[in-house]
């Protein structure tokens, strides 16, 4: 478990995700992985100090736990990154509704040590089995979708699509060709 928030850590989350995938395959149901990053958290830590930042993360962890069902898993990966496993959802629209509710709950103003804050999060969503067949693929694709949400202006969500993978591959190929070109000059 994460020492600060008491939430499951990455290792425990990945174990639960692998178990959930096996159950989903047996039952023929879907599950979703939500990769969540708190927007502007670095500013809180840098301007108000790590003690306030830690308190902020504890509040966010509590809000996430309260917003999710008992059968779902909320974990802290590190820093201001959280991940949520939503089990047995029948349609993407249900996952989107949950995500919108999470953004609303997370975005509620809070006051810590006389500092008023308006938190916001960017969330990337993947759905099993469409967006990945294993824990690693689902996590990677949810992370890509989260970065897409940040690029869209933060405080929002993005569903994973294959174009995101294609764009990353193209960017990596371009970077590789540029590096090779520089090395060969």
Q: Which residues are known catalytic residues? A: 80
155 in Cβ contact with 143 (< 8 Å)? no
Paired tokens of 107: 């975005």
Paired tokens of 74: 């909320």
d(CA 98, CA 83): 14
């Amino acid at each position: 478990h994460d020492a600060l928030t008491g939430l499951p850590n990455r290792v425990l989350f990945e174990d639960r995700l692998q178990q959930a995938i096996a159950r989903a395959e047996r039952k023929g149901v879907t599950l979703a992985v939500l990769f969540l990053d708190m927007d502007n958290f670095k500013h809180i830590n840098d301007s108000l100090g790590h003690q306030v930042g830690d308190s902020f993360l504890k509040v966010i962890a509590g809000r996430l736990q309260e917003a999710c069902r008992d059968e779902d898993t909320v974990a802290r990966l590190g820093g201001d990154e959280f991940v949520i496993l939503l089990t047995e959802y029948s349609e993407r629209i249900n996952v989107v509704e949950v995500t919108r509710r999470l953004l609303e709950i997370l975005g509620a103003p809070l006051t810590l040590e006389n500092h008023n804050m308006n938190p916001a999060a960017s969330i990337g969503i993947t759905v099993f089995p469409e967006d990945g067949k294993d824990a690693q693929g689902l996590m990677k694709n949810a992370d890509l979708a989260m970065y897409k949400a940040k690029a869209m202006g933060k405080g929002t969500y993005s569903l994973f699509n294959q174009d995101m993978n294609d764009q990353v591959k193209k960017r990596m190929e371009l970077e590789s060709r540029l590096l090779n070109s520089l090395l060969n000059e």
